[in-house]
């Protein structure tokens, strides 16, 4: 009989790893249930926020014209509305600018300066949450955003594709 055949026989570290895995699974189940309980408009705002963050992540090097066109084409958000949205997202990222291109340039500067993996992921999570909040016209409360709904939506709707 190996050490890991039964719960009773798992090593101390095996039990810790199993507990962490169970905890994370529970969090994602909770996030899924909380997401499903939201009104459709708020669900859509979270999904769109995740998509906007991803389009920024993939297109910041390509420039404002490219990012705005992608948002308009893929998400059906007019360029003038997307501009206001992105300026708000940049502000929430700590980037205070008046032009989309300037915001994209500052993201590029952060990357060039050697942004760490944690800061890189945080940057896009902030962007997704900010976009979702803006798109929901402030209807998403901080509790919903703090519960990991954006992260769950990212994994469910974006990474799953």
For 128, the token pair is 């997704």
Q: How far apart are CA 93 and CA 81, in angstroms?
A: 19
Average pLDDT over residues 2-15: 51
For 3, the token pair is 């050490």
Residue-wise pLDDT for 79-111, tens only, equals 999 999 999 999 999 999 999 999 999 998 887
Total structural domains within the chain: 1
pLDDT of 24 > 80? The answer is no
In a domain? residue 24 = yes
Q: Which domain holds residue 123?
A: 10-159
For 142, the token pair is 């901080």
In a domain? residue 1 = no
In a domain? residue 23 = yes
Band of pLDDT at residue 18, cut at 50, 70 and 90: very low
In a domain? residue 152 = yes
Band of pLDDT at residue 152, cut at 50, 70 and 90: low
pTM over 0.85: no
In a domain? residue 36 = yes
């Amino acid at each position: 009989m190996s050490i890991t055949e039964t719960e009773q026989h798992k090593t101390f570290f095996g039990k810790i790893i199993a507990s962490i895995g169970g905890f994370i699974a529970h969090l994602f189940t909770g996030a899924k249930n909380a997401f499903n309980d939201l009104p459709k408009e708020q669900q859509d705002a979270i999904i769109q926020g995740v998509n906007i963050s991803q389009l920024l992540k993939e297109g910041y090097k390509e420039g404002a014209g490219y990012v705005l066109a992608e948002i308009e084409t893929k998400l059906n958000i007019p360029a003038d509305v997307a501009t206001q949205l992105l300026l708000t997202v940049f502000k929430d990222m700590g980037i205070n600018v008046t032009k989309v291109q300037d915001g994209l340039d500052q993201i590029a500067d952060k990357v060039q300066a050697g942004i760490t993996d944690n800061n890189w992921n945080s940057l896009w999570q902030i962007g997704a949450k900010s976009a979702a909040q803006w798109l929901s016209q402030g209807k998403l409360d901080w509790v919903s955003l703090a519960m990991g709904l954006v992260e769950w939506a990212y994994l469910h709707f974006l990474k799953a594709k």
